[in-house]
């Protein structure tokens, strides 16, 4: 571990909200001569490293991209496997997350996934609602453009044209989780350098951090490295200083 990573600790200059694009499960597995599903399984274990790291460093908000609106076009077998894994994750991790003070939320569409899965998600949200140590948001059947389209639809349902034009604050209120602060830092693993439709509205001023590591290899040290680099960035939000 580098000195920088060693020195990362609870700090005022830590990001409040980190969003993570967990990429590279498939390549991680294929490189080892294994099935893509093994990569996803190892990827779900790496989520535990992220959560432990966030708790240790007192990062209050984490959002992870678990299944995108575009992921439906993967082979049915892989889609089914990913949903089984998510269901298993919810079942297996609920007690520990509850005990550690983690509040879980889900963003994304709920009209295209099974009723039993939605019931499990709602149970997890209900049972962790009073937790305050870490807010963990899972994006499932989530796409940033889809979220904006749904927000506009909902806004038009409650507003009449006579009420005039829409401000960004108005639109923000209709996003999936308007109570969350915008992400300060977006991490993407596997060497790809794009947002892939993740939080495209909220990440307008986020710092972006990329690593060649595949998601299953993500550890608390990776998180510490990302935060150490973030602390060296100079955020101007469009202003001069
Ligand atoms: C990207 O890897 C990852 C996904 C599409 C899904 C993310 C899912 C997990 C990390 C596991 C399940 C998560 C939870 C919370 C239980 P990829 O398949 O696109 O990898 P590749 O680019 O190498 O093909």
Query: Does 239 map to a domain?
Result: no
What's 142's domain CATH number? 3.40.1180.10
Q: Is the C-alpha dihedral spanning 199, 126, 51, 27 positive or negative?
A: negative
pLDDT band at 160 (very low <50, low <70, confident <90, very high): low
Q: Distance, CA 44 to ligand 1 centroid (Å)?
A: 8
Known catalytic residues are 23, 71
pLDDT band at 157 (very low <50, low <70, confident <90, very high): confident
The closest residue, in CA terms, to atom 24 on ligand 1 is: 26
Query: Does 11 map to a domain?
Result: no
Tell me, using a 6 A CB cutoff, whether residue 23 lines ligand 1. yes
Query: Does 208 map to a domain?
Result: yes
* Nearest CA-CA partner of 190 in 168, 210, 220: 210
Per-residue pLDDT of 181-190, as tens digits, reads: 999 999 999 9
Q: Is 26 exposed, middle or buried (0-12, 13-18, 19+ CB in 10 A)?
A: buried
Query: Does 158 map to a domain?
Result: yes
Q: Distance, CA 114 to ligand 1 centroid (Å)?
A: 20
Per-residue pLDDT of 24-56, as tens digits, reads: 999 999 999 999 999 999 999 999 999 999 999
The closest residue, in CA terms, to atom 8 on ligand 1 is: 66
Per the structure, the count of domains in the chain is: 1
Three-state secondary-structure class, residue 62 = strand
Tell me, using a 6 A CB cutoff, whether residue 49 lines ligand 1. no
Q: Please state, in angstroms and rounded to a whole number, the distance separating the CA atoms of residues 198 and 191.
A: 16
Tell me, using a 6 A CB cutoff, whether residue 27 lines ligand 1. yes
The closest residue, in CA terms, to atom 11 on ligand 1 is: 44
* Nearest CA-CA partner of 202 in 172, 230, 229, 173: 172
Query: Does 206 map to a domain?
Result: yes
Q: Which helix (H) or strand (E) holds 65?
A: strand 61-68
Q: Which atom of ligand 1 is nearest to the CA of 36?
A: 18
Query: Does 94 map to a domain?
Result: yes
State the residue range of the domain holding 34.
18-231
Q: Is 189 exposed, middle or buried (0-12, 13-18, 19+ CB in 10 A)?
A: buried
Q: What are the helix (H) ranges across 16-75?
A: 25-31, 36-56
Residue, of 156 and 179, whose pLDDT is higher: 179
Q: Which atom of ligand 1 is nearest to the CA of 68?
A: 5
Average pLDDT, the chain: 93
Query: Does 9 map to a domain?
Result: no
Q: Which atom of ligand 1 is nearest to the CA of 30?
A: 23
- DSSP assignment letter at 197: T
1-5, 99-103, 209-213, 236-240: least confidently modelled range:
1-5
* Nearest CA-CA partner of 30 in 15, 40, 20: 40
Q: Distance, CA 159 to ligand 1 centroid (Å)?
A: 38
Query: Does 120 map to a domain?
Result: yes
């Amino acid at each position: 571990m580098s000195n920088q990573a060693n020195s990362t600790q609870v700090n005022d200059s830590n990001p409040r909200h980190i969003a993570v694009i967990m990429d590279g499960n498939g390549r991680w597995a294929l490189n080892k001569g294994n099935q893509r599903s093994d990569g996803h399984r190892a990827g779900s274990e790496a989520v535990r490293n992220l959560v432990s790291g966030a708790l240790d460093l007192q990062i209050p908000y984490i959002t992870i991209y678990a299944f995108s609106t575009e992921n439906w076009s993967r082979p049915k077998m892989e889609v089914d496997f990913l949903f089984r894994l998510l269901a298993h994750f919810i079942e297996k991790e609920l007690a520990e997350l509850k005990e550690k003070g983690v509040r879980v939320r889900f963003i994304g569409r709920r009209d295209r996934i099974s009723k039993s899965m939605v019931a499990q998600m709602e149970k997890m949200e209900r049972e962790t609602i009073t937790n305050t140590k870490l807010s963990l948001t899972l994006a499932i059947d989530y796409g940033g453009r889809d979220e904006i389209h749904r927000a506009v639809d909902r806004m038009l349902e409650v507003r009449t044209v006579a009420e005039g034009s829409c401000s960004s604050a108005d639109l923000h209120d209709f996003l999936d989780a308007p109570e969350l602060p915008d992400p300060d830092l977006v991490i993407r693993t596997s060497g790809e350098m794009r947002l892939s439709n993740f939080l495209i509205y909220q990440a307008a001023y986020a710092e972006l951090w990329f690593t060649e590591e595949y998601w299953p290899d993500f550890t608390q040290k990776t998180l510490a490295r990302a935060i150490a680099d973030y602390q060296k960035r100079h955020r101007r939000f469009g202003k001069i200083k």
